[in-house]
Amino acid sequence: MYNKITHMTLSPKEDCLLFSTDNSQIISVKINLEKPTDEAFPYDYLVTSFHSKQIHGLDICIKK
């Protein structure tokens, strides 16, 4: 499943791109503008939504 990017910004040091998606995720990508490359950049999720679809059940335990 693909998500749409809703916002994008460049860090003040211009070494990181931040993306927000339509399902409330924030993704950080480290970049180097001085040495462009064709390789894929590693990325990290800074904020990830816990659920992307409906919750159909929930279990709880009083003793835990």
Whether 53 is covered by a domain: the verdict is no
44: Cβ contacts below 8 Å, ≥ 6 apart: 27, 28
Give pLDDT tens digits for 25-59: 888 998 888 887 777 778 888 877 666 667 788 78
Residue 55 in domain:
no
Residue 25 included in any domain: yes
Place of tokens 């791109």: 17
Assigned domain for 14 exists: yes
* Residue 1 DSSP SS3: coil
How many Å apart are CA 32 and CA 49, to the nearest integer?
A: 28
Assign 7 a pLDDT band (cuts: 50, 70, 90).
very high
pLDDT at 18: 92
Q: How many domains does the chain contain in total?
A: 1
User: Is residue 9 scored above 90 in pLDDT?
Assistant: yes
What domain range is 36 assigned to? 5-47
